[in-house]
Amino acid sequence: MDLSGSQASDLDSLKSLSNSITDELESISSQFTIGFGSFVDKIAYPFASTLQNGSDYLTRHLGNMVIECANGRASCGPTYVYRHHLPLTSDSGQLSEVLDNVTIRGNLDVPEATLEALLQSVVCLDEVGWRNGSLRIVMVLTDAGFKTALDGRAAALVTRNDGECHLEPEEGFYDYSRGPEQDFPSIYQVREKLIENDIITIFAVAEDVVRNRISTDNIVYRELAEEIGRSRAFVQTIANDSADIVSVIRMAYESVTRDIVVDSVSGLTIGIAPVLNCNLTSDGRGCANVAIEDLVSFNVTVTMDQCLKDMQTRLLPLPGFGNVELTLVPICECNCSSQMISNHTSCNGTGSLVCGACDCSEGFYGEQCECDDELGPCLNDCFNRGSCDNCTRECISCDTYQVMPREPHNICIYICVLCVVMQDTIGGVFQIVGSFGKRCQCDNSTGAGACPVGRDIDQVCSGEGECVCDGEKCDCDCECGTAPLSGHQYSGDDC
């Protein structure tokens, strides 16, 4: 739990609801254990006061922040990074006793040492009291952002966090001893330790922290959960005073156990096939919407991404439910690979049939070696008038054009179509849609209708008259002039 100044009302709620919390856990599982740890920040400026009495420093430099810190109390104690007050126990009464002796602490900035505290609770297996074979969950209760690797430089802490357990026994609790010496851990370090020790994290945070950035240096918890992994980290919103902590615990547990998924493993492709009571998750990695006490069954297929010579033992993680140990014996060749039939008819005579599949000869490809690399592409990509068969390299679809056999490949050419008459709903005039005529000489692209285009001059009615449509047909109304090049007189109804 975050015990910085703004968490005073949350601590009060936790103290008053401690018995309700253990009752709720007992209704979920008869074999539950519960523990408690708290965190604030490093005793290093500018994160916290370096004086022995943190409240005196706050009084001199931050005025009324002491009131917020202590919520009416006389003062708040000096800060620390992480303390583990209660190892996991089935004695529900111990939680209440421990909480009675916990007080709010003072620090200066908003983001806390959340990840450093989380890391210690994950790697200190004996001190925390994690049991083998149990569903391991850490709930982080906070209303502020977190510091991560390299943030320690602001306090001249440049030594990389080693990711090891450093909890030392003190009177009544375990205390983290390397806070003043090391930088904060990275998200990657925390993620790797959560996976290694099969622990799931639930971030119970105030709604405004979930939705908004605390500062430009910190990402919000939903983004953090994405970085850790959806099957390893969850986010639950909680009231500003944590008064709804009991219901949040129930919802968090249901979120964790709702899906049973298989984590990805480097170098392996994993497939899931449902057998019993298993509705596949959207990503196909496991079973979705599993009710408490339901039994699910599914088969797992494993394919190695590359052939390895030696037998291997790998762990297949099921977050929250432990790991399955796999002994992998690589099979890099099929027994039938020696029974190759060259130039088989199933492979169009251009490939060998091996184990029921075609192994194509050089220069050929396709499922049955039916494609020839030497054919080259379709001519001008079918002139952008149709689609090209990538195997035969022939134009197979030409839209309003027609496939014309040509050597070496089919091409798309224009074939004149019959005119299509349509009613102009505005002017009541019949118009011709599309080019037509034996030589495609008729065109209404200028809007003049269906009158013919001149043989020498590419204009409707040879540019010598007006095209007039009477509702049934279109004719040229012309006064024929002379050809501009030869000087000859145009003649005919359409000039």
The domain defined by 5-258 folds into Rossmann fold (3.40.50)
- SS3 label, residue 165: coil
At which residue do the structure tokens 């502020």 appear?
A: 144
Q: What is the pLDDT of residue 420?
A: 38
In order of 57, 108, 110, the CA distances from 62 in angstroms are: 8, 9, 13
The domain defined by 335-372 folds into Laminin (2.10.25)
Q: Which residues belong to CATH 2.10.25.10 in the chain?
A: 335-372
Q: Which residues pair with 423 in a beta bridge?
A: 430
Separation between Cα atoms, residue 194 and residue 351, nearest integer Å: 51
- Which pairs from 438-444 meet CB under 8 Å and 24+ separation? 440/414, 440/416
Q: Which residues pair with 266 in a beta bridge?
A: none
Q: Is 238 exposed, middle or buried (0-12, 13-18, 19+ CB in 10 A)?
A: buried
Separation between Cα atoms, residue 317 and residue 300, nearest integer Å: 12
Q: What is the pLDDT of residue 120?
A: 96
Q: What is the pLDDT of residue 432?
A: 40
Separation between Cα atoms, residue 465 and residue 463, nearest integer Å: 6
**DSSP per position, 343-402:** T-GGGTTSEEEETTEEEEPTTEESTTS-EEGGG-PPGGGGGGSSEE-TTT--EEE-TTSE
Q: Is 262 exposed, middle or buried (0-12, 13-18, 19+ CB in 10 A)?
A: buried
Q: Which residues belong to CATH 3.40.50.410 in the chain?
A: 5-258
Q: Which residues pair with 433 in a beta bridge?
A: 420
CA Rg value for the chain: 39
CA 180 from centroid of its chain's CA atoms: 37
Element housing 139 (H / E) = strand 136-142
- SS3 label, residue 406: coil
Tens-digit pLDDT profile for the chain (495 aa)? Answer: 988 878 888 888 888 888 888 888 888 877 889 999 999 888 777 777 665 444 444 443 443 333 335 444 445 677 889 999 999 998 878 988 998 888 888 777 778 889 999 999 999 999 999 988 788 989 999 888 888 888 878 777 888 999 999 999 988 899 999 888 899 999 999 999 998 898 989 998 876 665 554 443 335 788 888 888 877 888 888 887 777 888 888 888 887 777 888 877 777 777 777 777 788 888 787 888 887 778 888 888 888 777 877 777 888 878 777 778 888 888 777 777 778 889 999 998 999 998 888 999 998 888 889 888 777 667 666 766 677 777 777 777 776 566 666 666 666 765 444 433 333 344 443 344 444 443 344 444 444 446 666 655 656 676 777 766 554 566 777 777 776 656 677 777 666
325 in Cβ contact with 312 (< 8 Å)? no
Separation between Cα atoms, residue 173 and residue 165, nearest integer Å: 15
Separation between Cα atoms, residue 95 and residue 33, nearest integer Å: 11
Element housing 255 (H / E) = helix 245-258
b/e per residue, 210-237, with b = 16+ CB within 10 A? Answer: beeebeeebbbbeebbeebbebbbbbbb
CA 74 from centroid of its chain's CA atoms: 48
**Strand 351-354, strand 357-360: pairing:** antiparallel
Q: What is the pLDDT of residue 486?
A: 63
In order of 306, 311, 316, 486, the CA distances from 327 in angstroms are: 16, 7, 10, 93
Q: What is the pLDDT of residue 437?
A: 42
Separation between Cα atoms, residue 299 and residue 478, nearest integer Å: 84
Q: What is the pLDDT of residue 125?
A: 94
In order of 188, 189, 444, 473, the CA distances from 469 in angstroms are: 78, 82, 12, 6
